[in-house]
């Protein structure tokens, strides 16, 4: 059975799509998506030997070798020039790494309709990249599983500023413009937790004699705190 996290990623695949799952590890997501009829076929990309072999094994075990191609390589380099793909999924990594994979593989994204990205941390890096590269965030999900909080970002080519019409840009990039509008209990929990963490940092800085006037970190944390407090209020 697939984790709730990957199940939600799979639910964002366009119908009957052919997609690439980059950093797939066991290839659970592509195998599940094809077996459940959510996708027609997939490319599985893995950079590391161990996960690459487990992906190969899983595809063989599911008897899906004719529709799922397992490839070893860095990021989007496993996609051949001109290869048709409806969607790319990248899940279970930090936002910084996902952004790097997208940036380095930009050429491979020309004909891709949808990106489904699931950063474990630092979703802000991905939102910034989407904004700079004309991808419009069309949906976001936040979920909690095994006491960890995950975000899923879905983007298509479009007007990258559209989701930020009703939120201050910096705040929207940090917390997610669609998640901020929805304000789910998990979202509120995540950011109240961050706020408490930032307050502790400010207190520590104050105890060490730092102030808003004389310390960069103090100013940076205060800025974030105010942005997020405004979103939650
Ligand atoms: N996508 C799966 C999930 O969400 O459960 C697996 C996530 S696993 C934590 C991250 C995987 O990404 C690892 O198997 C790692 O080898 C792979 N990976 C990291 N950097 C990569 C890159 N540049 N290109 C392809 N795969 C990469």
Q: Where are the domains of the chain?
A: 4-164, 186-232
**How far does residue 168's CA lie from ligand 1's centre (Å)?**
33
Average pLDDT of span 16-35:
98
| Residue 26 burial (C-beta neighbours within 10 Å; 0-12, 13-18, 19+) | middle
pTM (predicted TM-score)? 0.97
CATH code at 4-164: 3.40.50.150
Q: Which of 19, 70, 93, 102 to mutate to test the pocket of ligand 1 (most atoms within 8 A of CB)?
A: 93
Is the shortest distance between the CB of 116 and ligand 1 below 6 Å?
no
pLDDT at residue 73, as a whole number: 98
Task: Kindly report the protein residue whose alpha carbon is nearest to atom 14 of ligand 1.
Answer: 25
Q: In this predicted model, what pLDDT tens digit does every residue of 67-126 receive, in sequence order?
A: 999 999 999 999 999 899 999 999 999 999 999 999 999 999 999 999 999 999 999 999
Q: Which of 6, 12, 25, 146 to mutate to test the pocket of ligand 1 (most atoms within 8 A of CB)?
A: 25
Task: Kindly report the protein residue whose alpha carbon is nearest to atom 27 of ligand 1.
Answer: 23
Q: Which residues pair with 141 in a beta bridge?
A: 152
Instruction: Answer whether 25's CB lies under 8 Å from 6's CB.
Output: no
**How far does residue 171's CA lie from ligand 1's centre (Å)?**
29
Is the shortest distance between the CB of 160 and ligand 1 below 6 Å?
no
Number of Cβ within 10 Å of residue 213's Cβ equals 7
Instruction: Answer whether 200's CB lies under 8 Å from 216's CB.
Output: no
Looking at ligand 1, which atom is closest to the CA of residue 9? 4
Instruction: Answer whether 179's CB lies under 8 Å from 127's CB.
Output: no
**How far does residue 122's CA lie from ligand 1's centre (Å)?**
16
Is the shortest distance between the CB of 91 and ligand 1 below 6 Å?
yes
Average pLDDT of span 156-182:
97
> In the predicted model, what is the mean pLDDT of the chain?
97
Q: CA 223 to CA 228: how far, in whole Å?
A: 9
Instruction: Answer whether 117's CB lies under 8 Å from 152's CB.
Output: yes
Number of Cβ within 10 Å of residue 98's Cβ equals 27
**Hey, is 126 helix, strand or coil?**
helix
**How far does residue 92's CA lie from ligand 1's centre (Å)?**
7
**How far does residue 83's CA lie from ligand 1's centre (Å)?**
21
Q: Quick one: which of 149, 49, 153 has its CA closest to 91? A: 153
**How far does residue 139's CA lie from ligand 1's centre (Å)?**
23
Model confidence at 1: pLDDT above 90: no
Is the shortest distance between the CB of 74 and ligand 1 below 6 Å?
yes
Is the shortest distance between the CB of 143 and ligand 1 below 6 Å?
no
């Amino acid at each position: 059975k697939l984790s709730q996290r990957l199940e939600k990623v799979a639910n964002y695949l366009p119908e009957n799509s052919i997609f690439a799952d980059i950093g797939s590890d066991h290839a659970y997501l592509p195998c599940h998506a094809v077996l459940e009829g959510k996708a027609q076929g997939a490319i599985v990309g893995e950079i590391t030997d161990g996960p690459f072999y487990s992906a190969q094994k899983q595809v063989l075990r599911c008897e899906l070798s004719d529709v799922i191609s397992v490839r070893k390589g860095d990021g989007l380099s496993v996609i051949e020039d001109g290869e048709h793909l409806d969607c790319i999924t990248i899940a279970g990594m930090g936002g910084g790494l996902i952004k790097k994979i997208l940036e380095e593989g930009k050429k491979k994204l020309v004909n891709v309709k949808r990106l489904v990205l699931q950063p474990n941390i630092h979703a802000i890096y991905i939102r910034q990249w989407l904004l700079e590269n004309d991808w419009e965030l069309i949906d976001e999900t936040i979920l909690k599983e095994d006491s960890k909080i995950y975000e899923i970002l879905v983007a298509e080519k479009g007007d990258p500023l559209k989701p930020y019409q009703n939120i201050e840009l910096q705040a929207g990039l940090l917390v997610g413009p669609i998640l901020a509008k929805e304000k789910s209990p998990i979202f509120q929990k995540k950011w109240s937790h961050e706020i408490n963490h930032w307050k502790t940092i400010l207190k520590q800085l104050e105890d060490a004699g730092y102030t808003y006037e004389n310390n960069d970190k103090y100013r940076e944390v205060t800025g974030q705190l105010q942005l997020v407090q405004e979103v939650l209020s």
